[in-house]
Amino acid sequence: VLNQPFFARGNVATAGGCLSSPYLAAWIIARAAGEEAARAALHYIAPVGEKEVYVDNAMRNIAPYLNPATPVERRIAR
């Protein structure tokens, strides 16, 4: 078990907790349609008064896994 909210390797991703669905959805949308589309989707579902913080936090958690050659994936692949 990893002590982090989101992890992905290649085309497989996992997340835990109450924000797992938004993280997974944003990751899929970002990979398919780009980061701006993912931000727009997150903004739509974010709580009123917390939209910017919510979107920024979600993107911060998935961003390292949007590029398939991230340092984390290279370390784990060894």
Q: Using the predicted structure, report yes or no on whether residue 71 has a pLDDT greater than 70.
A: no
Residue 9: per-residue pLDDT: 94
Beta strand segments in 10-73, E: 12-15
Residue 73: per-residue pLDDT: 47
Residue 56: per-residue pLDDT: 98
Q: Using the predicted structure, report yes or no on whether residue 70 has a pLDDT greater than 50.
A: no
Q: Is 7 left (phi over 0), alpha (psi -120 to 50) or beta?
A: beta
Residues 6+ apart with CB under 8 A from 61: 4, 5, 6, 23
Give the mean pLDDT of the chain: 90
Predicted model pTM: 0.83
Average pLDDT on 22-42 reads: 97
Average pLDDT on 24-28 reads: 98
Are the C-beta atoms of 40 and 30 separated by less than 8 Å? no
